[in-house]
Chain A
Amino acid sequence: MAARLSGGENRLVSLPLSRIRVIMKSSPEVSSINQDALFLTAKATELFVQYLASYSYKHGRGKEKNALTYSDLAHTAEECETFQFLADILPKKILASKYLKMLEKEKRDGELGECDEEDDDEEDNDEAVDEAVGS
């Protein structure tokens, strides 16, 4: 334990507590944080970074063998339940051509439903109402 306390390399926590506190306090509902809670959050964040990195490296389908890439991380956020909360900030990258195809497909699938709801023509609207009353 003495070895852990001395020397910069083996310090208890390497992330700056002051910065962690600023991030925690940026959450509006938090009023105060005690020293133990601050320390634990900093330490937990370190463990999280290690876990996210090693998990993504092991489970990633990266083409480059000796590398950790963005797509490995996005894959983890999508596939692993525990890391799902990261899905919004680590979106999978897709090609523009693929995206256009997705949009087209969505349009085709949504066409039937959209007709009744989003028609600007007044006559059509009346018809829709009549149909709804009738049925």
Chain B
Amino acid sequence: MAERPEDLNLPNAVITRIIKEALPDGVNISKEARSAISRAASVFVLYATSCANNFAMKGKRKTLNAGDVLSAMEEMEFQRFIAPLKESLEVYRREQKGKKEARKDKDRKADSEEQDKSREDDNDDDDERMEEEEQNDEEEVDN
């Protein structure tokens, strides 16, 4: 878990990229502003977690779920995030489901009826794995 205080920081390169995407081209972001936004983002995570946890506790649940996070956004007055978040979640769930099914189909290779389908899914799976490797590379650079 968080053993050192820096474990609570978010990668600067990623934060900077996200800020740049939000601002018009050519806007200079001071170093102090970057680290301030990065700190603010960590505090946002903690604030959102604590709000979401209150909703989970009210519902007598121990595990935070998607609904708790969305309720937290509303309580924190970030309602504007809810629609885009729901959209991304749908895409994310579909993506996860796809990965799971690809894995399942792989196990069922012996089944001749499934064989054609599983060959397709194997390809998908490989693509995804390559993508994950790319992601890892990126994160290493960021740190």
Q: Is A16 touching B14 in the complex (CB atoms < 8 A)?
A: yes
B110 interface hit (Cβ, 8 Å): no
Across the interface, B92 reaches (CB within 8 A) one of A12, A23, A52, A64, namely A12
Complex Cα distance, B42 from A62, in Å, reads 25
Q: Is B88 touching A68 in the complex (CB atoms < 8 A)?
A: no
Chain A interface, >50% SS class = helix
Interface-side segment among B16-24, B101-109, B113-121:
B16-24
Q: Is A5 touching B66 in the complex (CB atoms < 8 A)?
A: no
Identify the closest chain A residue to B128 (Cβ): A5
Across the interface, B78 reaches (CB within 8 A) one of A48, A64, A67, namely A48
Contacts of B42 in A (CB 8 A): 23
Complex Cα distance, B9 from A89, in Å, reads 14
Contacts of B111 in A (CB 8 A): none
B-contact 0/1 string along A11-23, CB 8 Å cutoff:
1111110011011
Residues of chain A in range 48-77 having any CB-CB distance to chain B below 8 Å: 48-54, 57, 64, 66-70, 72-74
Q: Is A20 touching B69 in the complex (CB atoms < 8 A)?
A: no
A44 with B85: in contact, given A14-B17, A50-B18, A86-B43 (CB under 8 Å)?
yes
Q: Is B11 touching A19 in the complex (CB atoms < 8 A)?
A: yes
Chain B interface, >50% SS class = helix
Q: Is B40 touching A68 in the complex (CB atoms < 8 A)?
A: no
Across the interface, B91 reaches (CB within 8 A) one of A4, A29, A48, namely A4
Chain A contact residues (Cβ within 8 angstroms of B): what range? 35 or more
Complex Cα distance, B96 from A81, in Å, reads 37
Complex Cα distance, B14 from A32, in Å, reads 26
Residues of A within 8 A of B (CB): 1, 4-6, 8, 11-16, 19-20, 22-27, 29-37, 39-41, 43-54, 57, 64, 66-70, 72-74, 81-82, 85-86, 89-90
Question: Can you list 19 contacts pairing A with B, beta carbon distance less than 8 Å?
Answer: A5-B131, A14-B18, A15-B14, A22-B8, A30-B49, A37-B65, A40-B88, A43-B85, A46-B18, A47-B84, A51-B81, A52-B37, A53-B29, A68-B19, A68-B27, A69-B32, A70-B30, A74-B36, A82-B76
Other 6 A-B pairs with CB < 8 A, given A12-B95, A14-B17: A6-B127, A39-B89, A49-B40, A70-B33, A70-B36, A85-B76
